[in-house]
Amino acid sequence: MPGRLRTYLDWNATAPLLAAAREAMVTALDLSGNPSSVHGEGRAARAVIDGARRDVAALVEADAAHVTFASGATEAANMVLTPEFRMGRTPLKVGKLYVSGIEHPAVREGGRFEKEQVVEIPVTHAGMVDLAALEALLEAHDAASGLPMVAVMLANNETGIIQPVRAVAEIVRKRGGLFVVDAVQAAGRLPLSIGEFDADFMILSAHKLGGPKGGGALVSRGEVLMPKPLIRGGGQEKGHRSGTENVAALAGFAAAARAAQDELAARNERIATLRDRMEERMAALAPDLIIHGRGMARLSNTTFFSLPGLKSETGQIAFDLEGIALSAGSACSSGKVGASHVLTAMGFDAALGGLRVSLGPTTAEGDVEQFLEAFARIAARRRQGVAAA
């Protein structure tokens, strides 16, 4: 309906651009120099990138020298998910990649590994990586094929469930493998530390934090062990990722990374309170409602729910017509709405639709109230449809 007030509840898909990030980007756009040039204009652009590297490193308690910038998290994933590594000047082969069944498509597709080299780690019905299954898979790994690599997300983008990455790291270390943590959804919502997680690499995205789309980073524990470059050319980013850096995007990324660390605990507490009240009201309006991951450790902002009899695509369209922007899971599938691979991995019927509400720092009680009013109408229509059937 033209003029209808819109409510944005899809922060896990992308966060609106922060004012500080926009300001930093506009300032950076006025820099005329190439950051690889040695003259004053080039050095000014380089200074912005160096500052961004420090700010992004601080987000995960890493060394700034260990941040490699990319065009986004998908590129960062494809950089690190490769059979070919170097330990200094010595080639190092990775035999298989082990990824959980609930990973984002950017990781689940396996990057530069062949399909037969990618092994799925089962998850429990509760949506957690099955640690016993992972241990069994790594015990059976053929060491002659190369090292095992395990890639697991810290927080699931659909359910918000926080994964036991420290326990995963312990299992990986026992088998001498490499460990990659996808921290895209967790950044800005959980405290992050590459050392505490005992990860070899972490993947980050700017636009999930309120930075611009088109900025991402691969953060490593050190500089000795690094993947074979995905993009070759002029040798930028110490030869790990060639191509002239997107100075404006990285300036915005840096501003968002700084903001993400400000008052994190207080922000999470407010959003969690808002989310929990919303879920209580939803359950009262629809007693057969399924909230996936409720009772589990989750991101404070995420509710992934199913209404039996309501298809994902039908529900998403219905909420959109009500002025509510939410998702039917991952937004990174070329606009496709279909069965959630996360729910399937958790053992639910593929026909069960799932819808995701994700809140953000500027989400107000009025936004949630508008969603609940729409939810009540859609749930009522769904009941009538079920009764008629």
Q: Among all residues, which ones are annotated catalytic?
A: 332
Cβ atoms of 99 and 121 within 8 Å: the answer is yes
Question: What is the sign of the dihedral through the CA atoms of 349, 355, 361 and 365?
Answer: negative
- Residue 306 backbone dihedrals phi, psi, to 5 degrees: -130, 140
Task: Return the exposure string of 360-374: e unless at least 16 CB atoms fall within 10 Å of the residue's CB, then b.
Answer: bbebeeebbebbbeb
Instruction: Find, among 280, 284, 275, 285, the residue nearest to 376 by Cα.
Output: 285
Residues 113, 132: Cα–Cα separation, whole Å: 24
DSSP tally for the chain: helices H, then strands E: 11, 14
- Residue 120 backbone dihedrals phi, psi, to 5 degrees: -85, 130
| Residues found in the chain | 389
Instruction: Find, among 359, 356, 331, 357, the residue nearest to 343 by Cα.
Output: 356
Q: Which amino acid is at 368?
A: V
Cβ atoms of 177 and 149 within 8 Å: the answer is yes
β-bridge mates for residue 10, sequence order:
358
Residue that has been written with the tokens 């990455």 in this structure: 165
Q: Which two tokens stand for residue 69?
A: 């910038």
- Residue 147 backbone dihedrals phi, psi, to 5 degrees: -70, 155
